[in-house]
Structure 1
Amino acid sequence: MKNQKVTFMTQAAMIAAIYVVLTFVFAPFSFGEVQIRISEALTILPLFTPAAIPGLFTGCLIGNILGGAILPDIIFGSLATLIGAFFTYQLRSKNPFLGPLPPIIANVFVVPFVLRYGYGVALPIPFMMLTVGIGEFISCGLLGLIIYYALKKYKNVLFRPIRDRV
């Protein structure tokens, strides 16, 4: 039982760290009205492990804080990632092509309002929903599914609890 908790926390911490690193390595694309946050590709990971849910939330939260985001963006942007990760986990036994949909939908309905009312971006909200949706489709949909299929054959090694390892 203790090993399972340690494994869960370790996986969550590693996912958070990778999210933060990817956010900053690709910082020119990670922030702004038109963004492709490469780190959002990791939102596919709840299909493999529930530890990805707090890991993604924490990574997004830290990435937003260190990236200089304003408080509404830190709160609501991170919550959008949390909601997306939670519902991706709920779809884990379904078709993997459904996995990217929750984070895409969550961000399409949250981020444009943060941009408008938090940052004062004067673009129309439907236009920002489109641009955020395109960015999320690229990162969560295309890159996320590439990650999914790359990790799928190793999921029993990478995401198996320690108690199952010999």
Structure 2
Amino acid sequence: MTNKSKKLALVGLVAASYAVITIVFGVISYGPIQFRISEILMFLPLFGKEYIIGLTMGCFIANIAGGLGLADMIFGTLATLISCILVYYTPKFIKNEKLSLFVASLWPTIVNALIIGWELYKFFGLPFALSAFQVGFGEFVVITIVGLPVFKMVNNKYGNRIKIFNSK
């Protein structure tokens, strides 16, 4: 299997994983207060930019199944794409490993709070500030409170690959 084939398979696996996890936990994955367990995967772009594509595709698929329509397919996916890009570039600008991971965990919270908060306001008539707070809260809990310690634990168990990020 060529390197390109491996990357393509990996992108598909990540997309499928994100979509399936989101859909399986659908009752808490959609709406003003969302706890998308699949968002823990948002640390993957730290390992390579191919994960940006996989996560973005997975989000798009999950948002098709989510029932919130075209707006969520566009803006929800855009929020994931922007978050992934910011996560990917964070260690390139912040060389302190702990700070870099913490900041990377905050990007999805900030971006989703603003974009999804706006989406819920614009297309569903919900108050922007409340929607942004609720979405941000769910993202923060899943990614920073739960996901960051899980990521650190898995990373430490499998060879502390975080150091690789700062050397790229």
Taking a change above 3 Å as real, the CA distance of residues 10 and 155 of structure 1, as seen in their structure-2 partners, is farther
**Structure 1 residue 106, shift from structure 2 partner:** 0.9
Alignment of 1:115-134 (within 5 A): 115-121=120-126, 124-134=127-137
**Matches of 1:90 and 1:155 in 2, distance apart?**
22
Number of the residue aligned with 1:163: none
Once the two structures are overlaid, the 10-residue window that deviates more, 43-52 or 92-101, is 92-101
2:108 is aligned with 1:103 = yes
**Structure 1 residue 45, shift from structure 2 partner:** 1.0
- Does the 8 A contact of 2:14 with 2:58 survive in 1? yes
**Structure 1 residue 144, shift from structure 2 partner:** 2.2
**Matches of 2:152 and 2:103 in 1, distance apart?**
14
**Structure 1 residue 37, shift from structure 2 partner:** 1.2
2:34 is aligned with 1:35 = yes
Deviations 1:89-143 (A, max 9, x none): 001354211211221111011001111212233xx21111111111010112123
After TM superposition, the score normalised by the length of structure 2 is 0.83
Number of the residue aligned with 1:82: 81
Taking a change above 3 Å as real, the CA distance of residues 147 and 7 of structure 1, as seen in their structure-2 partners, is farther
Unaligned runs of 5+ in 2: 95-99, 162-168
**Matches of 1:101 and 1:3 in 2, distance apart?**
35
- Does the 8 A contact of 1:112 with 1:125 survive in 2? yes
Deviations 1:29-74 (A, max 9, x none): 1011111111111111111222210011000000000222211111
Structure 1 stretches of 4+ with a deviation exceeding 3 A read none
**Matches of 1:83 and 1:58 in 2, distance apart?**
13
Partner of 2:91: helix, strand, or coil? coil
Report the RMSD for the aligned CA atoms in angstroms: 1.9
Unaligned runs of 5+ in 1: 158-166
